[in-house]
Amino acid sequence: MRMRSMLVALLTIQTVKVCEVDSLGSYARYKLKGRGVVVCSRLTKMKENEHVDVVFNQNGQRIGEGGKDLASYSGLHAASRVSIATYDNWHDVKGEARDRLWKFIKGKFNLEDHEMKGTLQDIGEKWREFKNRLTRFYITPFKDQLELLRKPPKVYEKYISQEDWDKFVKSRLTDEFQAGCRLLNWKECQALERIT
């Protein structure tokens, strides 16, 4: 029961929204209350020859400040450097795109080549979470109000081009995708029932 109440509290906190309306009275964008977009200003302002050390524990998990910085920087690149419209899933992101991501990460962190796989998997998870967040908070609630889906969310405007946003919204509003969402929601409800 405790797990379920914690999950309900978490979902409640994440879905609180504040409507922002421009001076003409038209819809501007919904904003989530929270910390906002990760910008990693300290890392992005570092000089070329500066690198952050990342410490790993005996289980291979990143720890300490370097580990936190790498996680944040990975999330930043997941949102800003991997197109939400070009790729359907992380397995489609191959070759040059992955090499570019690794180059950006290696440019800021002291990492060995054998750490590439885990780092790119982390970016993939963050990219999937980013797409999920866009769908849950900015598309699904407004699927019956298409005029509200014309522009990307203000908080992500500098990461998402208008063309990518249009393709992404279109893909999320297909009957096939919506049917998959209903199936996943049903499975999640069943899992919650088993937990409690």
The structure tokens 């504040």 sit at 18
The pLDDT of residue 48? 82
Closest CA to 85 of 175, 179, 163: 163
Mean pLDDT of 24-35: 47
Predicted confidence band at 192 (pLDDT cuts at 50, 70, 90)? low
Give the Cα separation of 121 and 5 in Å (integer): 31
Give 20 or 46, the one with higher predicted confidence. Answer: 46
Could you read off the pLDDT of 166-175 as tens digits, one per residue? 999 999 999 8
The pLDDT of residue 87? 92
Mean pLDDT of 140-155: 92
CA atoms within 13 A on the CB side of 125: 9
Give me the torsion for CA of 162, 163, 165, 169, rounded to 10°. Answer: 130
Q: Helical H runs in the chain?
A: 2-14, 41-44, 64-81, 95-106, 116-134, 162-172, 175-195
Q: Kindly state the tokens that stand for 85.
A: 């419209």
Q: What is the pTM of this model?
A: 0.75
